[in-house]
Amino acid sequence: MRVTIFGSGYVGLVTGACLADAGNHVVCVDVDPLKIDMLKRGEIPIHEPGLDTMIKRNFEAGRLRFTLDAKEGVDHGLFQLIAVGTPPDEDGSADLRHVLTVARTIGEHMNEYKVVMTKSTVPVGTADKVKVAVGDSLKKRGASIEYDTVSNPEFLKEGAAIADFMKPDRVVIGTDNPRTAELLRTLYEPFTRNHDRMIVMDVRSAELTKYAANAMLATKISFMNELANLAERFGADIEKVRIGIGSDPRIGYSFIYPGLGYGGSCFPKDVQALARSAHEVSYDASILKAVEAVNQRQKQVLFGKMLKHFGSMAGKTLAVWGLAFKPNTDDMREAPSRVLIDALLAAGAKVQAYDPVAMPECEKLYAGKPGIRFCKSADAALEGADALAIITEWQEFRSPDFTNIKKTLRAPVIFDGRNLYDPGLMAREGIQYYAIGRGLTVGQPRL
């Protein structure tokens, strides 16, 4: 089948590569000439395991093309997927300018029936606006061409996006036209062959499903962090509590790991956008507001522990392991590391940072800013540091050489924002260990 995707960012590239890998002919359209040139050279502007080889394979096979020419894209595909960014406005609402610009562009160039699909995460009612935008462009041309608008939200986890697309938990289709649903069933059939995971519903319900899913997962994270803060004050261990409640199948173990709060391109933006959408229909979404408030507070927790330990951060040097908001990505958007680094620099401390993947992205963010140094390895970041802070749970941080850590740091102190280590082991190693929700700090007496 012939598919056009507007937007060659994270969602657009993963979607395009996976659809092409199933034998479809895909054209990705973007307005950034540097990005298009990069993709044509086989270079990928994001980090996603396996994506570079998949794009290269399908580009060389002629199933995947990249272009700046919007008309070429509209002419190519029966399916016109809108996968452009919807950044938050100052009030938290989603900015739909790029989505509606693409919709108008499709209307300007289409000459036959098209299925116009929103892949971007958008507020409820956006498909109606897309339909109007396409129709207005056709009307200006004096053209009468049939088209359908569909909501087809993505459910891709950064770091595991290819597996999520190739073997999805569900494919949500929002449409009021049974014929369109059958066309999409054919498009997605290679990915749902073992079990029909396609869920067809009305357009507005599909739009809300995406926001609801991300808001629910964000709620679990914030609730667990709230419990972790309580556990710390009660002298309980949140990791034992996590196992105790996760064993209940009604709760499960997913997304109940305490830490430094959620980040990335989805959860922060989507929780804020859904709360803003609620406000626009005169509803006070108090739980959503609390989820966001707890998350913002949680990002400050590790810095608060450092202040209590050192008294003042002025003149201190912190080794920071992990910069991306989660492992297996270079995404620094809303990352907890940024909150910590900003607080440390503002307090007069120095930062020696390391991340296996996200260093180039972080270097862009802190270009020219004094007080931060990027190191070539985790061990190099330790040299001359007063303590170690662990922000992202990369695999290589899970079983380090603690003897080397003690020898290299000025003092054996670890601030662990991801609860990677066993407090008993830290005590035996003679390391003062601050974790999240683990009762007494190892090496510290009960006050």
Active site residues: 266
Dist. CA 355–CA 105, nearest whole Å: 40
Q: How far apart are the first and last CA of the chain?
A: 67
- Structure tokens given for 137: 């462009």
**Amino acid in the structure at residue 59:** F
HSE-CB for 201 with a 13 A CA cutoff: 16
Dist. CA 215–CA 220, nearest whole Å: 9
SS3 for 66? strand
Residue 354: strand pairing partners: 321
291-308 CB burial, b ≥16 within 10 A, e <16? bbebbeebbebbbebbee
Cα angle 342-348-354, degrees, rounded to a multiple of 5: 50
Dist. CA 373–CA 378, nearest whole Å: 12
**Amino acid in the structure at residue 257:** Y
Nearest one of 306, 159, 156, 292 to 225, comparing CA atoms: 292
Q: CA–CA distance from 115 to each of 74, 88, 134, 154 (Å)?
A: 11, 27, 11, 17
DSSP 151-207: E------TTSHHHHHHS-S-EEEE-S-HHHHHHHHHHHGGGSSSS--EEEE-HHHHH
Place of tokens 């209307």: 107
Find out whether 115 and 145 touch, Cβ atoms under 8 Å: no
Q: Between β-strands 413-416 and 387-390, what pairing exists: parallel, antiparallel or unpaired?
A: parallel
